[in-house]
Structure 1
């Protein structure tokens, strides 16, 4: 590249860089904060090379890390970033109890789980839920973009896409999880179980619908089996319902409903082509 073309390229980048509304922390820093916070809450896995710090020292370092993550967003925050850090950590005991309920629900209902330790240390569903609940606190504190960076970090590691703005009740169970999508305005009650490939999505993806409720409401005690797709902001799955695998649902169902996808079975005769 000639010097003149190089200079033109640099000027083009500078113009574009000046047009951005937001600056953000790096993805690796966001990921490290998430993983260190989860390890702080649940010190079940150990890094062979890390030094063991006191709980108080680790807690203080996590406060500093979150403040650092918020720094590039300072001008877009609703209040001083140190106040947001304080509010976030004030809520951390509640987040901890919520995550214990999630881990206990997964352990109780998955026959393959040996206990909450396995769920916390190994299960991608629990990891995605943990990151969602952490990010959702920041969403409630009106922090822009950083919560989405957190849940997309979990998405990249688990294949589970939970928008941080979604509302999810207690004792949430995502089994296997790969391919699960939970949209921004989805509302999920307590004791809900979701299997792999489930989509809680929108029927209309127009930008003009951004401020509307576009995703379904799932009431308490619902089970949604693999690859079911439930769409629409007015769609409500009533409590204690079961949605079978591969169901496509765009209308509400009453409580205690059972919705199935019916397969067509044909038995070939012995003389038919094999």
Structure 2
């Protein structure tokens, strides 16, 4: 058989492997989805609004700069959200809920973008606290500029705070594209559904995983390799994972979790002011102001009366 005939035969064998229905099926081609490059460009534009100067060598007029960046961002997001919205109901059967199609996708997309734009000053306020937390939490940080220009943890939390607001608006696909792009850059994997309080700091960062239903309080510090994950995945009568239930831990205010520790479970709560030492595997809650360590006998949880965190690296 010559090459042309082989190509034709292969093409004929491929055709039935691609579903033609307008449903979110595993064999459906990826037509009409948000463009990944455009979503990343929107993330870059927003990052420049939140931290002006990273990609611009000279000072600019703030107001004019913000208007230009936000206008460009809005145009991109309106187009990409319009493409993303049908995925709300295309996979609705698997989500165990009836989702009705939106009649006017353009209008819905515009309204969602306007709602998101209102949140940007709040995101900026949170990120200022994150910069302070990184500077105060790392003796190696010699300036705020160093944190803003060089720290992967700040890149990750910046992306997350943007993606999280889009996630809360029930926008499909786009928040996850943003978070996974940032994961590829930083080695830090934060699901856009995770709720994270102010003054959050990830030191070093590589290998950190934060699951979708995590609740993280204020002034929390994580080191590299920390996993805040799920114990297991409850299944429905069809053997499919049940969505939108609490699967990941709650970490209360002023907690430090040191390197390579794993904390699992939706019913696991790390009490405020606690410290979890390195290489701990934890699937149960701790009281406030606990010190959690690992020994040959297993995990030891001690309650401390002293204020602050005495451990340092």
2:132 matched residue in structure 1? 104
Deviations 1:247-269 (A, max 9, x none): 010111100100112379xxxxx
Alpha-carbon RMSD:
2.4
- What is the deviation of 1:45? 1.8
1:75 aligned to 2:103? no
Equivalent of residue 87 in structure 1, options 115, 118, 125: 115
1:24/1:146 contact within 8 Å kept: no
Q: TM-score, normalised by structure 2?
A: 0.77
- Structure 2 Cα separation of the partners of residues 208 and 74 of structure 1: 23
- What is the deviation of 1:141? 0.8
Q: After the TM superposition, which segments of 4 or more aligned residues of structure 1 sit over 6 Å from their partners?
A: none
Deviations 1:141-188 (A, max 9, x none): 111121111111110111100011111111101111100000111111
- Structure 2 Cα separation of the partners of residues 16 and 42 of structure 1: 44
1:5 aligned to 2:6? no
What is the total number of aligned residue pairs between the two structures?
A: 262
> 3-state SS of the aligned residue for 2:231?
coil
1:216/1:235 contact within 8 Å kept: yes
Gaps of 5+ in 2: 89-101, 235-239, 298-313
Task: Decide which moves more: 232-241 or 112-121.
Answer: 112-121
- What is the deviation of 1:14? 5.1
1:59 matched residue in structure 2? 70
Distance 1:136 1:129, change over 3 A: same
Q: TM-score, normalised by structure 1?
A: 0.87
Structure 1 residues 248-263: aligned runs within 5 Å = 248-262=281-295
1:41 aligned to 2:50? yes
Gaps of 5+ in 1: 265-274
Equivalent of residue 211 in structure 1, options 236, 240, 244: 244
1:221 matched residue in structure 2? 254
Equivalent of residue 15 in structure 1, options 8, 13, 19: 19
> 3-state SS of the aligned residue for 1:54?
helix
1:236/1:253 contact within 8 Å kept: yes
Distance 1:208 1:20, change over 3 A: closer
1:25 aligned to 2:38? no
Deviations 1:106-157 (A, max 9, x none): 1111111122222122111011101111000011111112111111111011
